Structure 1
Amino acid sequence: MMEQRILDIADQLLLIEQELKVQGWWSEAAPSAEALASVEPFAVDRLSFEQWLQWIFLPRMRVILEHGHPLPNASGILVMAETVFVDRPEQSRELRRLLATFDQLIGPGA
């Protein structure tokens, strides 16, 4: 049986995806292979944070969950989101709340 924490994380990923769509931050067109190959944290040199969430973070987390790979033992996504959305506090409120919950689910002692 799948651990409740895994189910909670999977639910959280769906909510993050849904919120990106609600805000109009979901893109139908994939970034270039070069952009997706960025080695910078959050691919900051080539992708917007929203693109990183959609094209790197969500697919990576799905692979981890679907294949039972070990979860990352820490997540600092909220810190990045707070920086990125400093000029969009209202519009990003729900996404930041969802990312905060994700960080808590991933974090030590979760």
Structure 2
Amino acid sequence: MLYQQTLLHLHAIENELKRLAMWSATKPAAIALASTAPFACDTLPLEHWLQFIFLPKMHQLISSQQPLPSKIAIAPMAQYVWAQKQETRDLIVVLERLDELLGGK
């Protein structure tokens, strides 16, 4: 059940990124994807981290039936990064719901 609910949230994140024209057709350079900083904030905008690191990793965990993260806090970062962009509110809400789902709240 948790996998199914998580998948719904992942699809909602993808749909929101596309709706906001934040979805990229071009994959970042391998060095940018190899960042060890939280959210790869030193090499990628948050939307690219979501698209090219977070979403693929979550899909991999789900498809291989691996444990999902239980301590997750993406929404606060999104709120900080997109504080001045009212149009991202729906995306932030989806991220808040995913944080709550995986955090067991």
Match in the other structure for 2:24: 27
> How big is each residue's C-alpha offset from its partner over 1:46-90, in whole Å with a ceiling of 9 and x where there is no partner?
0000000000000000001000111111111001001001111x2
4+ aligned runs moved over 6 Å, structure 1: none
Gaps of 5+ in 2: none
Match in the other structure for 1:78: 75
Match in the other structure for 2:65: 68
Match in the other structure for 2:96: 100
Percent sequence identity over matched residues?
Answer: 40
1:42 positional shift: 0.1
In the alignment, the residues of structure 2 paired with residue 18 and residue 72 of structure 1 have an alpha-carbon distance, to the nearest angstrom, of 22
Which TM-score applies when normalising by structure 1? 0.93
Q: How many residues align?
A: 105
In the alignment, the residues of structure 1 paired with residue 49 and residue 9 of structure 2 have an alpha-carbon distance, to the nearest angstrom, of 16
Gaps of 5+ in 1: none
In the alignment, the residues of structure 1 paired with residue 39 and residue 70 of structure 2 have an alpha-carbon distance, to the nearest angstrom, of 17
Could you tell me which amino acid in structure 2 is paired with residue 32 of structure 1? A
Where 1:91 maps in the other structure, the secondary structure is: helix
In the alignment, the residues of structure 1 paired with residue 98 and residue 91 of structure 2 have an alpha-carbon distance, to the nearest angstrom, of 10
In the alignment, the residues of structure 2 paired with residue 33 and residue 6 of structure 1 have an alpha-carbon distance, to the nearest angstrom, of 29
Give the root-mean-square deviation of aligned CA atoms: 0.8
